[in-house]
Amino acid sequence: DMKVTQMPRYLIKRMGENVLLECGQDMSHETMYWYRQDPGLGLQLIYISYDVDSNSEGDIPKGYRVSRKKREHFSLILDSAKTNQTSVYFCASSFRLGGGQDTQYFGPGTRLLVL
């Protein structure tokens, strides 16, 4: 059963604290993604990872960094969280089939509240 997992599912942090969001997948997908989704809005790509230690900025990377040391695991780090980083964060993964046909599989999301 193909699965993308995210931990934690809910998180409350104070402004200035560090935040670690974790994502795992059991499908041996090469490519992994981090998105954020604000209320009533679509998805915004934060970072994309093509494989271990091969990461690229997405559309809104400022204030975030990522780590991918194993193919099945992708972390999103917020150093000194800000209130405007309150959002729902989704991780996704895909096989690299090429030609743009890669289907992204999403995790359940992490709801982050920064006070």
The interface region with another protein, picked from 12-20, 70-78, 79-87, 96-104 by CB under 8 A, is: 96-104
What DSSP line would sit under 55-89, residue for residue? EEE-S--TT-EEEEEETTEEEEEESS--GGG-EEE
- CA–CA distance, 16 with 98 (Å, rounded to integer): 40
Nearer to another protein among residue 64 and residue 90 (C-beta): 90
When asked if residue 39 is in the footprint of another protein (CB under 8 A), the reply is no
CB-facing half-sphere around the CA of 36: CA atoms within 13 A: 21
* Size of interface with another protein, in residues (CB under 8 A): 26
Quote the Cα angle for 107-109-111, to 5°: 170
- Using CB under 8 A as the binding rule, whether residue 8 contacts another protein is answered as no
Q: Which of 56, 80, 83, 84 binds another protein (CB under 8 A)?
A: 56
Minimal CA–CA distance to 32: which of 6, 8, 60, 10? 6
Interacting residue with another protein among 15, 50, 82, 115 (CB under 8 A): 50
Binding site for another protein (CB under 8 A): 31, 40-43, 45, 48, 50, 56, 58, 90, 92, 94, 96, 98-109
